[in-house]
Amino acid sequence: MVPPFPTMRLRRLRASQALRDLVQETSVSLNDLIYPIFVEEELDDFAPVESMPGIYRIPERKLAGTVKEIAAAGIKSIMTFGVSHHKDDHGGDTLREDGLLARMLKRAKDAAPELVVISDTCFCEYTTHGHCGVIHDDDVHNDETIENLGRQSVIAARAGADVIAPSAMMDGQIAAIRAALDGNGLTNTPVMAYSTKFASAFYGPFRAASGCDLKGDRKAYQMNPLNGREAIRESIADEAEGADMLMVKPAGPYLDVISQIRQRSLLPLAAYQVSGEYAMIKFAAQAGAIDEARVVRESLGAIKRAGADLILTYFAMDIARQGF
Domain ranges across the chain:
29-322
Closest CA to 196 of 277, 253, 127, 278: 253
Contact 319, 296 (CB under 8 A): yes
pLDDT for the residue numbered 42: 95
- 82-104: b or e for each residue (b if 16 or more CB lie within 10 Å)? bbbeebeebbebbbeeebbbbbb
Relative orientation angle of helices 173-183 and 229-241, to the nearest 10 degrees? 20
Q: What secondary structure letter does DSSP report for 133? A: S
pLDDT in 10s for each residue of the chain, 324 residues: 888 999 999 999 999 999 999 999 999 999 999 999 999 999 999 999 999 999 999 999 999 999 999 999 999 999 999 999 999 999 999 999 999 999 999 999 999 999 999 999 999 999 999 888 898 988 999 999 999 999 999 999 999 999 999 999 999 999 999 999 999 999 999 999 999 999 999 998 887 777 776 777 889 889 999 999 999 999 999 999 999 999 999 999 999 999 999 999 999 999 999 999 999 999 999 999 999 999 999 999 999 999 999 999 999 999 999 986
**How far apart are the two ends of the chain, measured CA to CA in Å?**
38
Provide DSSP, 260-283.
Answer: HHHHH--S-EEEEE-HHHHHHHHH
Q: Which amino acid is at 183?
A: G
Q: Which of 106, 109, 249, 282 is catalytic?
A: 249
76 flagged as catalytic: no
**Which residue among the candidates 197, 215, 282, 304 is catalytic per the annotation?**
197
C-beta of residue 58 within 8 angstroms of C-beta of residue 40: yes
Q: What contacts 64, CB < 8 A, 6 or more positions away?
A: 107, 108, 110, 111
User: What CATH number should be reported for the domain whose range is 29-322?
Assistant: 3.20.20.70
Q: Tell me, what's the pLDDT at 2?
A: 84
Q: What three-state secondary structure class fits 91?
A: coil
In a 10 Å sphere around its CB, with 0-12 CB exposed, 13-18 middle and 19+ buried, how is residue 133 labelled? buried
Burial class (CB in 10 A: 0-12, 13-18, 19+), 121: buried
User: For position 83, what pLDDT does the model report?
Assistant: 96
Q: Is 249 a catalytic residue?
A: yes
pTM of the model: 0.96
Rounded Cα gap, residues 224 and 170, in angstroms: 14
pLDDT for 283: 98
Q: Where does residue 160 fall: left (phi above 0), alpha (psi -120 to 50 degrees), or beta otherwise?
A: left
CB 32 within 8 A of CB 260: no
Q: What is the pLDDT of residue 204?
A: 86
For 74, the enclosing helix (H) or strand (E) is: none
CB 50 within 8 A of CB 93: no
